[in-house]
Protein backbone atom coordinates (compact mmCIF):
# COMPACT_ATOMS: atom_id res chain seq x y z
CA UNK A 1 0.00 0.00 0.00
CA UNK A 2 1.32 3.41 -1.01
CA UNK A 3 0.97 6.13 1.71
CA UNK A 4 2.04 9.26 -0.21
CA UNK A 5 0.18 12.56 -0.19
CA UNK A 6 -0.64 14.25 -3.46
CA UNK A 7 1.61 17.40 -3.68
CA UNK A 8 -1.28 19.48 -5.01
CA UNK A 9 -2.88 19.20 -1.58
CA UNK A 10 0.01 20.90 0.23
CA UNK A 11 -0.65 24.38 1.58
CA UNK A 12 2.33 25.84 -0.33
CA UNK A 13 0.94 24.57 -3.64
CA UNK A 14 -2.55 26.04 -3.27
CA UNK A 15 -3.87 28.50 -5.82
CA UNK A 16 -3.55 32.06 -4.58
CA UNK A 17 -6.10 34.75 -5.20
CA UNK A 18 -4.71 37.67 -7.14
CA UNK A 19 -6.23 40.95 -6.11
CA UNK A 20 -7.05 43.29 -8.95
CA UNK A 21 -7.11 47.02 -8.33
CA UNK A 22 -8.13 48.29 -11.73
CA UNK A 23 -6.17 49.25 -14.80
CA UNK A 24 -3.22 50.63 -12.87
CA UNK A 25 -3.55 54.12 -14.33
CA UNK A 26 -5.82 56.97 -13.40
CA UNK A 27 -7.67 58.63 -16.20
CA UNK A 28 -9.28 62.03 -16.44
CA UNK A 29 -12.61 60.69 -15.12
CA UNK A 30 -10.89 59.26 -12.05
CA UNK A 31 -9.10 62.55 -11.43
CA UNK A 32 -12.36 64.48 -11.68
CA UNK A 33 -14.12 62.04 -9.29
CA UNK A 34 -11.35 62.49 -6.73
CA UNK A 35 -11.55 66.28 -7.04
CA UNK A 36 -15.35 66.29 -6.64
CA UNK A 37 -15.16 63.93 -3.65
CA UNK A 38 -12.51 66.17 -2.09
CA UNK A 39 -14.73 69.23 -2.56
CA UNK A 40 -17.82 67.47 -1.19
CA UNK A 41 -16.02 66.24 1.92
CA UNK A 42 -14.01 69.31 2.81
CA UNK A 43 -14.44 70.99 6.16
CA UNK A 44 -16.84 73.95 5.65
CA UNK A 45 -15.04 75.92 8.36
CA UNK A 46 -11.69 75.37 6.64
CA UNK A 47 -12.33 75.22 2.86
CA UNK A 48 -9.69 74.35 0.32
CA UNK A 49 -7.20 77.10 -0.45
CA UNK A 50 -8.01 78.91 -3.72
CA UNK A 51 -4.47 78.41 -5.03
CA UNK A 52 -4.62 74.70 -4.33
CA UNK A 53 -7.98 74.41 -6.10
CA UNK A 54 -6.72 76.34 -9.12
CA UNK A 55 -3.61 74.16 -9.21
CA UNK A 56 -5.72 70.99 -9.24
CA UNK A 57 -7.96 72.37 -11.99
CA UNK A 58 -4.86 73.23 -14.05
CA UNK A 59 -3.62 69.66 -13.57
CA UNK A 60 -6.98 68.36 -14.71
CA UNK A 61 -6.87 70.61 -17.78
CA UNK A 62 -3.34 69.43 -18.60
CA UNK A 63 -4.43 65.81 -18.25
CA UNK A 64 -7.36 66.43 -20.60
CA UNK A 65 -5.09 68.06 -23.20
CA UNK A 66 -2.51 65.25 -23.00
CA UNK A 67 -5.24 62.64 -23.40
CA UNK A 68 -6.62 64.41 -26.47
CA UNK A 69 -3.14 64.85 -27.96
CA UNK A 70 -2.38 61.16 -27.40
CA UNK A 71 -5.60 60.18 -29.18
CA UNK A 72 -4.76 62.51 -32.09
CA UNK A 73 -1.24 61.12 -32.40
CA UNK A 74 -2.58 57.55 -32.44
CA UNK A 75 -4.92 58.47 -35.31
CA UNK A 76 -2.05 60.17 -37.18
CA UNK A 77 0.21 57.14 -36.81
CA UNK A 78 -2.56 54.84 -38.03
CA UNK A 79 -3.21 57.04 -41.06
CA UNK A 80 0.50 57.14 -41.91
CA UNK A 81 0.72 53.36 -41.72
CA UNK A 82 -2.35 52.98 -43.92
CA UNK A 83 -0.91 55.39 -46.50
CA UNK A 84 2.34 53.45 -47.05
CA UNK A 85 0.87 51.70 -50.07
CA UNK A 86 -0.38 54.92 -51.64
CA UNK A 87 2.89 56.73 -50.87
CA UNK A 88 4.85 54.09 -52.80
CA UNK A 89 2.45 53.63 -55.73
CA UNK A 90 4.42 56.25 -57.71
CA UNK A 91 7.12 53.58 -58.16
CA UNK A 92 4.99 51.63 -60.64
CA UNK A 93 6.57 51.93 -64.08
CA UNK A 94 9.77 53.44 -62.71
CA UNK A 95 13.20 51.94 -63.18
CA UNK A 96 14.86 51.20 -59.83
CA UNK A 97 18.33 50.22 -58.82
CA UNK A 98 18.18 47.94 -55.83
CA UNK A 99 20.50 46.01 -53.58
CA UNK A 100 20.08 42.37 -52.61
CA UNK A 101 19.55 41.66 -48.92
CA UNK A 102 22.85 41.06 -47.16
CA UNK A 103 24.87 42.81 -49.87
CA UNK A 104 27.32 45.30 -48.39
CA UNK A 105 28.53 47.05 -51.53
CA UNK A 106 26.72 49.61 -53.68
CA UNK A 107 28.58 48.11 -56.65
CA UNK A 108 26.22 45.11 -56.59
CA UNK A 109 23.12 47.10 -57.60
CA UNK A 110 20.64 45.53 -59.98
CA UNK A 111 18.28 47.43 -62.27
CA UNK A 112 14.64 46.51 -62.93
CA UNK A 113 11.28 48.15 -63.59
CA UNK A 114 8.57 48.13 -60.90
CA UNK A 115 5.34 46.40 -61.97
CA UNK A 116 3.27 46.56 -58.76
CA UNK A 117 3.33 47.56 -55.09
CA UNK A 118 1.85 45.66 -52.13
CA UNK A 119 1.53 46.05 -48.36
CA UNK A 120 1.97 42.89 -46.32
CA UNK A 121 2.41 42.72 -42.52
CA UNK A 122 3.15 46.46 -42.42
CA UNK A 123 5.99 46.25 -44.95
CA UNK A 124 5.78 47.68 -48.46
CA UNK A 125 7.33 45.61 -51.22
CA UNK A 126 7.45 46.01 -54.98
CA UNK A 127 7.24 43.46 -57.75
CA UNK A 128 9.91 43.83 -60.41
CA UNK A 129 9.66 43.02 -64.12
CA UNK A 130 11.61 39.80 -63.44
CA UNK A 131 8.82 38.60 -61.08
CA UNK A 132 10.80 39.05 -57.84
CA UNK A 133 9.40 40.91 -54.85
CA UNK A 134 11.75 43.20 -52.90
CA UNK A 135 11.25 45.50 -49.94
CA UNK A 136 11.14 49.23 -50.67
CA UNK A 137 14.08 49.61 -48.26
CA UNK A 138 16.28 47.76 -50.77
CA UNK A 139 15.76 50.42 -53.45
CA UNK A 140 18.77 52.73 -53.78
CA UNK A 141 17.83 54.81 -56.85
CA UNK A 142 14.65 55.61 -58.80
CA UNK A 143 14.53 56.92 -62.36
CA UNK A 144 12.07 57.19 -65.23
CA UNK A 145 11.65 53.98 -67.18
CA UNK A 146 13.66 53.92 -70.41
CA UNK A 147 10.69 52.26 -72.17
CA UNK A 148 8.55 55.41 -72.32
* Main-chain phi, psi angles of 25, to 5 degrees: -140, 140
Residue 106 has pLDDT above 80, yes or no: no
Beta strands 110-120 and 123-128 are antiparallel
Please tell me whether residues 70 and 93 are part of one structural domain: no
Pick from 54, 141, 66: nearest CA to 97: 141
**Does residue 4 fall inside a structural domain?**
no
Same domain flag for 91 and 76: no
The answer to whether residue 92 is domain-embedded is: yes
Across the range 85-108, mean pLDDT stands at 86
pLDDT, mean of residues 93-122: 87
Q: Are residues 73 and 112 in the same domain?
A: no
Tell me the C-alpha distance between 26 and 76, whole Å.
24
Number of structural domains found in the chain: 2
CA atoms within 13 A on the CB side of 91: 30
Using the predicted structure, report yes or no on whether residue 147 has a pLDDT greater than 80: no
For the cut 70, the answer to whether the pLDDT of residue 61 exceeds it is yes
Residue span of the structural domain in which 90 resides = 85-143
Domain co-membership, 66 together with 40: yes
Residues 6+ apart with CB under 8 A from 52: none
- pLDDT attached to residue 51: 80
Amino acid sequence: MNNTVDPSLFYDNRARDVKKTGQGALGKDDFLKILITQLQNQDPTNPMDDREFISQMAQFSSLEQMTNMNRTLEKFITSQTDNKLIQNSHLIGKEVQWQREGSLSDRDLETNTVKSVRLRDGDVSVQLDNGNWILVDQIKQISSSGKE
